Structure 1
């Protein structure tokens, strides 16, 4: 067991209201901390009650729940004002610990300062510490935005979570566990959609085995019911892509289109040339990336530029984007969620 000095600064004499002793030993996660109890008591009724209930100065006050590291973060929060902006991921976690523990121990002023700082950092939209944070930190930030009913920041975090799943930056197993709508006292639809994208990420990770007919239940972290959802999504999205590839999206012709039938024919043959002939490297079940790749290619296709009026070509490309957006919004249905 180690003993360290608390980072809380010495209080003025007016703060000394928890007995004649200014310092007490706290045992947190089997680690002893020498803490300035006057500061804790002045800011928290919960700590004041703990000190009064543990009156023997020779016995440490045992805290259950937080780790020693989290407790250190709380003490750090009490020693700084204003709350600094977190420049890296470790500092984001420290700030989240301060917000969480100050709320647990009813340190209202500190909780408000930490919460306000967290929301301000998220609102920046460009802070790399937030954009690259771990899944657990993302869950905690999401909880804060829901508690304060900030729909804008909630939507931003959910969107960021979704795209980081597709870029393989976040753990889809953990996301599947925490994104269950029943875990949240909130509108279930956003979490249902996030769950669908987590299963999509799982399906893409397992796609080589699925496409070759191998079993995926061996050495797999997914439960049997989760594997069923992945299989449902795989077969559903295969059928969905075959239907998409065989029938290019219809579009509105512009008023200056002199030959709409030829215009539609040109669009149809170029789309099918890409979609049906496996000229795209992404698997057929990866409709999100396949549609994105087709759009990228056709947007610069000289054959279309030469043979379609500009407005017709723009309308046709927009229809492609609409199909992709529709898939992004409804992907959870493919996994029977």
Structure 2
């Protein structure tokens, strides 16, 4: 591990003494590790203080608050000339460790390098390590975007978390714990919405039992209070879908529509037929997927194509999409949040 050192002439006595040392043994998470202490001291006033307070070279220095892996990743960060873009889970975890520990030990330049690499990877929008990361990594990256006040990247990560909850790639129970607004010193609204989507994902998983009136608290990862929220959402979303099925969204007729009443009637009966005859392979409470599938079926429906003017049909389909977007934005209200 080699880092060029500035002249020691203008350094403080503590700094000169620290840099003059070579190797010291550190105890990290019950593991002994021999480290080039001069590199640590050159990059961190915190380490200079730690080393000066533990002057006996034969006595190991005990570090608290980090694991062996995290400390090893910090040392790796000091060795590399440039911070690479993360390409898998291991890469992402390594750079997150470097960012967090370098901030903890006041290694400003290293912290900026790691932070910049992470923000660039998130901004890329297609980085595989970001798109496939676990919940804990998402939370760690969100904290970085909040600290640097980057609303664009914050929103991207929140949308990614929401999407992966609905695709069942991320655990809904863990999301319910970690998305609660009380865990964040930030505007609660984005986290309330995320919490709603986490409860929604939990409700969809539990729907087979809920629809049969079976107990869902047995062997559940959720607390009783959380299960109450799931039940609230279940009954609210069933009623919401019944309203959609019984009253098709109104739309604006085009000026060339010769028979608006018949046009609306065709639209209405087609939605009712699809909604009430088990043509949509998702439970009633899964309004997001049901609306998406309903839109797909109606967009290709030959009966509508034949009996509705193209502009009217497009307008009606847009109203259906608006219902889905509105549900995505307000789903937390269904769970009494």
The normalised TM-score by structure 1 is 0.96
Contact 2:20 2:38 in 1 (8 A): no
Partner of 1:4: none
**C-alpha distance after superposition, 1:18-38 (max 9, x if no partner):** 064311001000111111111
**C-alpha distance after superposition, 1:184-212 (max 9, x if no partner):** 11110000000000000000111111111
Partner of 1:185: 185
Return closer, same or farther for 1:256/1:19 CA change in 2, 3 Å cut-off: closer
Return closer, same or farther for 1:19/1:113 CA change in 2, 3 Å cut-off: closer
Task: Confirm or deny that 1:294 pairs with 2:291.
Answer: no
Indicate the SS of the match to 2:333.
helix
Contact 1:18 1:51 in 2 (8 A): yes
Contact 1:44 1:105 in 2 (8 A): yes
Following the alignment from structure 1 to structure 2, what is the Cα–Cα distance between the partners of residues 153 and 12? 36
Structure 1's unaligned 5+ residue stretches are 1-7
Contact 1:232 1:334 in 2 (8 A): yes
Partner of 2:285: 285
CA RMSD of aligned residues (A): 1.2
**C-alpha distance after superposition, 1:27-65 (max 9, x if no partner):** 000111111111111110111100000001111110111
**C-alpha distance after superposition, 1:225-251 (max 9, x if no partner):** 001000100011111111111000000
Following the alignment from structure 1 to structure 2, what is the Cα–Cα distance between the partners of residues 17 and 313? 79
Between the two proteins, the alignment pairs up a number of residues equal to 330
Partner of 2:309: 309
Partner of 1:9: 2
Partner of 1:329: 329
Following the alignment from structure 2 to structure 1, what is the Cα–Cα distance between the partners of residues 254 and 46? 70
Structure 2's unaligned 5+ residue stretches are 9-15
Indicate the SS of the match to 1:18.
helix
**C-alpha distance after superposition, 1:46-104 (max 9, x if no partner):** 11100000001111110111000000000000111211111111100100000000000
Contact 2:5 2:42 in 1 (8 A): no
Contact 2:248 2:271 in 1 (8 A): yes
